[in-house]
Amino acid sequence: MASSRVQPKTAGTYVRRVIVIAYLFFLVVWPVSLVVKHTFDGGFGNITTALSDPVVTDALRLTVYVAIWAVVINTVFGIGVSLLLVRYEFPGRSVLSALIDLPLAVSPVVVGLALLLAYGGTNGLFGPFLNSIGFQVAFATPGIILATAFVSLPLVIRELVPTLQEIGTDQEQAARSLGAGPWATFRRITLPSIKWALVYGVVLSLARSLGEFGAVKVISGNIAQQTQTATLVVEQKYQDFEQETAYATSFLLTLIAIAALVVITILRPKDKSDGN
C-alpha cells in the first residue's frame, strides 16, 4: 500500500521535504530543545532546586490530583455519550454531537469567566447556594477540576465515536441474543473493541488536563500552595525572575507532553499514520 502512495521522487519531492522539515525545525524543534538546554544549563541543579521548592511541589501535586479527577469524569461521561450518540436515536442528537465540540473552540479565558458566572461564591448562579451547604467551587479545587474537565471534554468522545461506528453492532447483538445482559455485553464485547481508541482518548485528555492554564487561572484565584497549578507556577516564577525554576517546571511538563505523544504514536494504528 505504501508504495502506491509514495510518489516517484522528483526535485519537487525534495523541495517540499526540505521546506516542511525546516519549518518544523524553526517553529517547534529548536525552541523546545532550548528549554531542555536551559533546564540542564547547570547540570541537574535547576531540577533539584525546583523540586525542593514547596510552591512547585504543591502545585505539581494539585495538578496531578485535578488531572486525574478530570480524566476520570471525562472518561465515564465520554463512554456514555459516545454510546448514546452512536447507538441510539433521540431528538436533538445531532445538536448534542455538534455542541460536544464547543469546548475545543472556546477561549480558555471565556471558559473561566463562564464558570465564574455560574459558580462564583457571591455573584454566581449556583455559587451562593453551594457555599451555604459548605461546598466552595470557585477559587478552590472543585472549580479547577470543573475548568479542566471543561477544556478536555471532547477528546475521549472524538476518539470513541468513529471507532464505535466502525465496529457496528453485529457482535453486540449476537451476545445479547445469546442471553448476555447489557453490562456483560459492554464489558466483554464493546469495551475490548474500543480499548485502544479509549486509551488514546484518555492519554490525550491527561496531557490536555495537566497543561490547562487560562481557564484555571481565572477560576482558581491563583493562590500559591493552595490553588496554584503547575502551569500557573511557570508564569509566576518566570515573572518573579526565578527563571531557572520556571524552566525546570516547564521541562517536566514538556516531558509529560512528549511522553504522551510518543505513547499515542505507538498506539496509533499503522494504517492511519503511514499506510503500511
Task: Name which of residues 154 to 173 contact other proteins (CB under 8 A).
Answer: 158, 161-162, 165, 168-169
Asked if 19 interacts with other proteins (CB under 8 A), we say: yes
Is residue 199 a contact point for other proteins (CB under 8 A)?
Answer: no
129: CB partners within 8 A, 6+ apart = none
In the complex, what is the shortest distance from the CB of residue 54 to other proteins, in angstroms, rounded to a whole number? 20
153 binds other proteins (CB under 8 A): yes
- Of 48 and 166, the one with the shorter C-beta distance to other proteins is 166
Task: Measure the CA angle with vertex 176, ends 160 and 166; round to 5°.
Answer: 25
Kindly determine how many residues on this chain lie close enough to bind other proteins according to the rule CB under 8 A.
107
State which of positions 78-97 bind other proteins (CB under 8 A).
Answer: 80-81, 83-90, 93-94, 96-97
- Of 53-72, binders to other proteins (CB under 8 A) are none
Q: Do residues 143 and 215 touch, judged by C-beta distance below 8 A?
A: no
Toward other proteins, which CB reaches closer, 110 or 191?
Answer: 110
How far apart are alpha carbons 60 and 67 in whole angstroms? 10
Contact status: 44 vs other proteins (CB under 8 A): no
Of 156, 73, 153, 63, residue with least CA distance to 108: 153
Q: What is the sign, positive or negative, of the torsion defined by CA atoms of 102, 103, 105, 111?
A: positive
In order of 89, 132, 147, 197, the CA distances from 157 in angstroms are 17, 35, 18, 10
- Residue 176 in the binding site for other proteins (CB under 8 A): no
Interface stretch with other proteins, choices 40-48, 49-57, 99-107, 185-193 (CB under 8 A): 99-107
Q: State the nearest-atom distance from the C-beta of 207 to other proteins, in Å.
A: 5
Q: How far is CA 205 from CA 144, 153, 239, 240, in A?
A: 15, 8, 28, 30
Question: Taking contact as CB under 8 A, which single stretch among the options 41-49, 53-61, 110-118, 186-194 is the one that binds other proteins?
Answer: 110-118
Quick one: cell of 259?
511522553
Least Å distance, CB 48 to other proteins, is: 20
